[in-house]
Structure 1
Amino acid sequence: MAKKRKSKKNNNKLLNSNLQFHGAWINPDWQSSGNASILFARKLPSGLLSFVHFGILVSVSKCDDSFLVSRITEEKFRNEFLADRKLLKIDESAVKDILRGVVRANKEDGYEVPKEFYNAVKLVGNIDWKVEKKKEEFTGSVLRYAMVKDRDDVEVEVRQTSVFRESDESTDGAREFLWIEARKKGVFAKKKLKTVGRVKFTDDELIIEVSEDEDKEFLDHKIFQYLGACIE
């Protein structure tokens, strides 16, 4: 009876960030061209190298090419992948910064990555792709308006107006809403969503904390278009 062949071990298990860092390289024109070709290598205890390659469209944080080599001699790696390519050496952290955008685009926007991408990432290490939300900052400028309707009725009006979005800091006892408008700087600039203020309530007042002083007059004019029947 023929002996059963033992299944080969998955070489991808060798790919981990605990191995000694050997080096990382990138094409020198990656920022101007928008195309980054990255090589990242670690050294195995045997002296051989494991390395990964990423081809990335930086402007859209999209990886369109990725492959890994789990075992290769340092000489072969140098001769076949580094020689004559005039690549620049970069830090581990720089590689992670570029990959962070790719992982985020894949997770949040659904951009597809090559089949080997996440196995290749294992050699680089953990990629913390989630960005902490920055707390909105506001100036000392404040606009105050007396409410001519019941506070609950005014809140209903605010909720039904599309430019107001309830803040993460809002609570049952202290409701607050971010005022977000499509604004642009310059005649030919594209409009972008911008938090222009924050709306809060007291028992009888509606208060607007202004994001930038230059928007104060704009907010004072607009609030009566949105909530003119509720405030004075």
Structure 2
Amino acid sequence: MKLIWSPETASKAYLDTVKICKKFKDSDHVELISAMAGGWSPRLIVEAWSSGSDVTTSLGLGIAARHLGARYVCIVQNERSKLEYETAMKDHHGSSGPELVVGETKDVMARFPGVEFMVVDGRCKDVHELFGFARLSRRGAVLLCTNGKSRGAVGFRWNLVIGDKSRVVRSVIIPVGRGLNIAYVKENRESEKSKSLTRTCSRWITRIDRKTGEEHVFRG
């Protein structure tokens, strides 16, 4: 199984986002993100929002989630950020808001297995950890880091943040919205096989007696 692109859903998400975001300046990246979320048809969408940011990306993701019937979760840094986010969203009546979650990065990400579409604001102080602790779907996942020119995203490298459980199939940086860093990743099955083989082999140790030539095998 793998993520499959749906041009029809991508178009619906894009057009609806254009209608809502037409009053915002420089919203091209939001429309792109919404179209991507709709097109890849994820079952679980996760966003990490940074205090001080607008909620336009959330509006686009909410539209895509509504078209897909997907679960949409947004992580905020603390209770103060949660209140700030809720206040900003109230200005957009009728918008499909996400499930808001507050907590330590590692604990929060452990609660959401099977992430298939994830957007993290590059201004988040724990941007690397958010991606690193994400429990990605075996079907693959599309990961996006927005505001790539911000201080938190300096030196950002996909192969450094996702670890060896996944591999980057393709990545690209698009110069919209202060930099949009995108990666399509898949489960690293070769790594898992290698680990399994190592564990299996490590159970037994072979030793040869130099004097007699006898081979002795025992459990390690």
Scaled to the shorter chain, the TM-score interval is: under 0.3
Larger Rg, first or second structure (1 or 2): 1
The structure with the greater share of residues assigned to helix is 2
**TM-score of the superposition, structure 1-length normalised?**
0.23
Question: So what's the TM-score if we normalise by structure 2?
Answer: 0.24
